[in-house]
Structure 1
Amino acid sequence: MIRPVLYVDLPGIIYALDRRARLVGRPIATFLCAPRYEETRSGLANLLNTMSPVHATARTWICEEHWRLLGVAQGRARPDTTSWDLVYLASMTGDERATPSVLRALLEYAVNAAMMHGQQRLFAQITADDHALAIFHQVGFQRYAEELLYVRESPSIEGLPEPERGLGMPGLTLRRWQRDDVWGLSRLHGTVTPRRVQVAELLGSDELARQFVPRERTWRIPGIEPRDETYVLDMGSHLAAWVRIRQSWAGLPHQLWLMVHPEHAAVAPEVIRFALGRLCENGVLPGAQPLHQPVICQIRDYEGGAIDGLRQSGFIHTDTKDSLVRHLTLRAFSDLAIPGVEQGRINYGVEGLGAVRSAPFQPTRELTACNTRSRMTSTSSWPRSRHTWRRPLRLSRSTRS
């Protein structure tokens, strides 16, 4: 039996216990979906998000049999969008033969729950595995991209080669993110991202800003949470690069996000060098020493210029995940035609934007009055508008006689 439970971080607790149990060789669950690193936030912000009875940020479902927990899943709503992220999906049966059936049942329940709540898309990220991908394909998920994980041991820039510049060329100057850069970020994302990914995600400019820029997505407490900064490289007419850095906090590594314009791929090493320098500048609190934790960067497989810059800066590829999407709605097209241009019917005097008043039909001598009237007043299935009227026919003398 599958049923929803109250919003408690039950999958997160199980995932933490499973990781600790795997260190001693006794795993307790099989996770198909799980975040690499949870983004830490302030306790007060978390408390307000979890206690809100109207805007729930997560929905958890469990599969049980005779009060025995067999599996767990959790979906979280994206900010101000009509999409969910399937964050956790795990099986705890202990039997490998029953694991696929439990995972598929939980996955189908999550898809139906998203439909009942009016969602349009359901996203998921899984480790590149053929068996896991087959389960998602059976429920209707499609793979549209791959997310690569690059890791660097330390944010120190010692040993990095100096960026090559031409004679007389000044260094790059990155500035802080501003609210007016939303349109530039949208254009940069549209240039870098392939068409298939844009169709799968359907992100608007505001949704893109909330997903990529932390200040557009949630509020934070300065001095308590880690330093989170966003910079852009402005070329005047467009943005050449966008970078976001988040300092280590609570044992998590430093995080770096990067997007580089394909025509300016040569600036990627210098942008990464700037980001590493900012991570080494100071600690979380003013005057504190920087934490020498690893630096991770999650990037899509189609961003070739940024990937080359990461490799030149000492980052190593360690993991790959498949990005999947399940579309829950279907766009409907109407076969009805516009009354003014429908075949078999001509309307005179149609008023409106772009409409041109046409002259009435002038019958010839070969046409009789009966044929003319029948041709001009052919019926149609489209209802007649109150703004549409017809001029009376004026028959020539030859027709009257």
Structure 2
Amino acid sequence: MIRPAVVADLWALRRRPQRRIFCYTEAMLASGYRPLAVSLRAVLGLLHDDVATLVLRNRGVRGYLQALKRAHAPELDLVYLAGFAGADQRMPNGDVWHALVEDIIARAGQARIERIFAAVGQRFDDVMEILRQLGFQAYAQQQLWMLPEPVLEAGSALVALRRQQRRDAWPIHQLYQRVTPRHVQQAELPRSTAWQLPRPRRGIGWRERGWVLGSDDALQTYIHVLTGPRAHVLRMLIDPAVRDLSPALLRYSLSQLSEARTVFAVLRSYQSELGSALQELGFRLRGEQTLFVKHLTATARQPVRVPGLVPNGPTTESVTGLSRLPYAPCQSAPEAMATAEHESMMGRV
């Protein structure tokens, strides 16, 4: 039986799983991630409908899936899968995870989610195969680089950028369209408003900043930094015309980070030449991911009754683990994980 996690499941989830997979997002890198802590806050109603936590029970807890809503779009990220040993050994982890992912797809369709994403580490071929069987498509590769402690040498070359402003959202979107392959754009379908920085958060250790280079109508560089309780996460869009300046551009961004934290850089495969600039600044490659997406059909987004998912009779409770209302902006994933402790990503990416 698969259902949303309830308080009674949390004790079982304290056990170390037989196997677990983290699908790291930028927010997870910035904060660290403890699935039990996030589940507890979700069960207690502290995270609204931002978190979907599903449990598969078969003579005890056998499987566990967690997904997070994105803050500004009707989209979902699969972030965690776990398999637990059980009395019935005839159901291996692969079958458990297949059932859980299939279930979250049905629930997401009822909640009018349009796309489900998953960033899977290169070592997890079995998880990739499960996603492919369920209609996910791989659309890009990305590398995760890490700099334990940014140190700028005296006399290093810098190129000054200006701080991102609200009017820059559309020029940044145009830069994204210029440097991003068409098939990736069709997979992600970002809105121009997705590039706007959120309002500053207070007292929870989160901060988002952006820097740009170029004229208002033709930006050449965009560098975004998400700062969480444990790390900074850097993402960049750099026009090929100025990529020779990449070390100096990145060095300037690092010089603006006053908080002494580890820095991660997320680098897409179609900008792989920027890896040499990261190496020059002391970054080290820590892992690679394959990015998957599943687009949900218009039919699946209609709120319908599905046997086994929605109980008979009226109810005022959420029975899907996701909001069944049309999407509206809600609390962001970083805020949802502000108290999670940092875990090493070695061997999990």
Deviation at 1:10, TM superposition (A): 5.8
5+ residue gaps, structure 2: 33-39, 300-349
8 Å contact 2:141–2:290 — kept in the other structure? Answer: yes
Deviation at 1:152, TM superposition (A): 1.8
Aligned: 1:311 with 2:279:
yes
Residue 67 of structure 2: aligned partner: 75
Cα distance between partner residues in 1 of 2:128 and 2:91? 17
Residue 232 of structure 2: aligned partner: 254
What does residue range 231-242 of structure 1 map to in structure 2 within 5 Å?
Answer: 231-242=211-222
Query: Secondary structure in 2 aligned to 1:302?
Result: helix
Aligned: 1:98 with 2:105:
no
What does residue range 39-78 of structure 1 map to in structure 2 within 5 Å?
Answer: 39-40=30-31, 51=45, 56-66=49-59, 68-78=60-70
Residue 382 of structure 1: aligned partner: none
Identify which of 165, 168, 177 aligns with 1:190: 177
Deviation at 1:47, TM superposition (A): 7.8
8 Å contact 2:23–2:118 — kept in the other structure? Answer: no
Cα distance between partner residues in 2 of 1:278 and 1:83? 31
Q: Give the number of equivalent residue pairs.
A: 287
Structure number with the higher strand fraction is 2
1:197–1:296 CA distance, 2 compared to 1 (3 A):
same
Residue 3 of structure 2: aligned partner: 3
- Which protein has greater RCO, CA pairs closer than 8 Å, 6+ apart? 2
TM-score, length-normalised on structure 2?
0.72
1:6–1:205 CA distance, 2 compared to 1 (3 A):
farther
Aligned: 1:119 with 2:113:
yes
Q: Deviation per CA, 1:104-132: give whole Å up to 9, x if none.
A: 11111111111122222111111113222
1:311–1:48 CA distance, 2 compared to 1 (3 A):
same
Q: Deviation per CA, 1:27-73: give whole Å up to 9, x if none.
A: 633223443635449xxxx98997479x511111100123x110111
Aligned: 1:295 with 2:263:
yes
Aligned: 1:273 with 2:239:
no
8 Å contact 2:31–2:231 — kept in the other structure? Answer: no
Identify which of 28, 40, 48 aligns with 2:17: 28
1:236–1:3 CA distance, 2 compared to 1 (3 A):
closer
Cα distance between partner residues in 2 of 1:9 and 1:69? 8
Cα distance between partner residues in 1 of 2:56 and 2:180? 38
Residue 150 of structure 1: aligned partner: 145
What does residue range 171-186 of structure 1 map to in structure 2 within 5 Å?
Answer: 172-186=159-173
Superposition RMSD on alpha carbons, in Å?
A: 3.3
8 Å contact 2:20–2:83 — kept in the other structure? Answer: yes
8 Å contact 1:7–1:59 — kept in the other structure? Answer: no
Residue 88 of structure 1: aligned partner: 80
Cα distance between partner residues in 2 of 1:257 and 1:10? 35
8 Å contact 1:120–1:329 — kept in the other structure? Answer: yes
Cα distance between partner residues in 2 of 1:59 and 1:78? 12
1:10–1:89 CA distance, 2 compared to 1 (3 A):
farther
